[in-house]
Amino acid sequence: MQHSPKNVHSAPLARRPGELAGLLAGLAGVVIFGLTLPMTHFALAGFDVYTVGLGRGIAAACLAGIVLAATRQPLPARIHWGRIFAASAGIVIGFPLLVTAAMQYVPSAHGGVILAILPLATAMASVAIAGERPSLGFWLAGIAGSALVLLFAVIEADGLTLQAADLLLLAAVVATAIGYAQSGMLARALGGWQTISWALIFSLPLLVPATILLAEPIDWDAPASAWLGFLYVAFMSQFFGFFFWNKGMALAGVARTGQLQLLQPFVTLAAAALLLGEQVGWHHAVFALAIIGVVIVGRQYRVEKARQQ
């Protein structure tokens, strides 16, 4: 007698080879990215928006060029160039500039909770761009996690109002989600660190003239904390963080790895409290535990990965 196949789209999924390593790599990326907003605040104490938002990409591209040359990486095939430019637009130009502009007006904690809708946006982008098909259970977990984060934002703000900074942050979410989906596709073909390195190199023809035209002269006497903030967002947030993040997306999938970013607001909150002296209450821990639970539940459900192209 033949047994009917189980519904693999909604049932919990057995672990794929390399998936755990991918999720751990993605988690390391989340920790690195979680410090971005507080470090951006430090950088803005000594530099203007365009120096921080665009100049960080130029600094990271210089390091990427050295690494690519030292390891003798071949130029990507032309078939990948469109995706590389799209990834550059989202994660090298769009997100850094929009977030840096927003950080002039709102605290790191506020920015962190607004950006927490990024996992859901990344899952949507993975469907539209990366060809992934999350199951219903995965979608419900993602929506539940994002709803928790937005509820947290309402409680924190005593009522969530969309101000100009919030619109900048939401635009950054869209740009980043598209960039992540493109990077996840590229990482399967090029490798994780190669993907961000080439995205940085391909962005230079726009970054360099834009920075020259828009940025103020560099204040070489800026406080050490401002230099530390700039160097962090340039080399950690814009470069090394993507080594881990792209590897995670390549091994575990764009949507599944993207869901780990539900934890990122709480990394940001902890960093804001330790580095900027912002107040963190018991309810932060409650929401953190609830969202961690959502992430654990969400990774039990199937996300069909696109075939390598």
Cα–Cα distance, 246 to 83 (Å, whole number): 14
Cβ–Cβ contacts within 10 Å for residue 293, how many? 14
Residue 63 covered by a domain? yes
Range of the domain at 295: 29-304
Cβ contact 93:57 at 8 Å = yes
Cβ contact 195:239 at 8 Å = no
Residue 12 covered by a domain? no
The number of distinct structural domains making up the chain is 1
Cα–Cα distance, 20 to 149 (Å, whole number): 25
Please give the C-alpha separations between residue 72 and each of 64, 161, 196, 242, in angstroms, as whole numbers: 12, 50, 16, 20
Comparing CA positions, the residue from 160, 119, 115 lying closest to residue 141 is: 119
Rounded mean pLDDT for each run of 10 residues along the chain, 309 residues in total: 45 58 89 93 95 96 96 94 94 94 86 79 76 77 78 65 77 90 85 91 96 94 96 95 85 78 83 81 73 71 56
CA 56 to chain centre: 15
Residue 231 covered by a domain? yes
Residue 249 covered by a domain? yes
* pLDDT confidence of residue 110: 77
Q: At what angle do helices 224-231 and 55-70 cross, to 10 degrees?
A: 50
- What pTM did the predictor assign? 0.81
Residue 11 covered by a domain? no
* pLDDT confidence of residue 166: 80
Q: At what angle do helices 164-190 and 95-102 cross, to 10 degrees?
A: 150
Residue 13 covered by a domain? no
Residue 49 covered by a domain? yes
Residue 18 covered by a domain? no
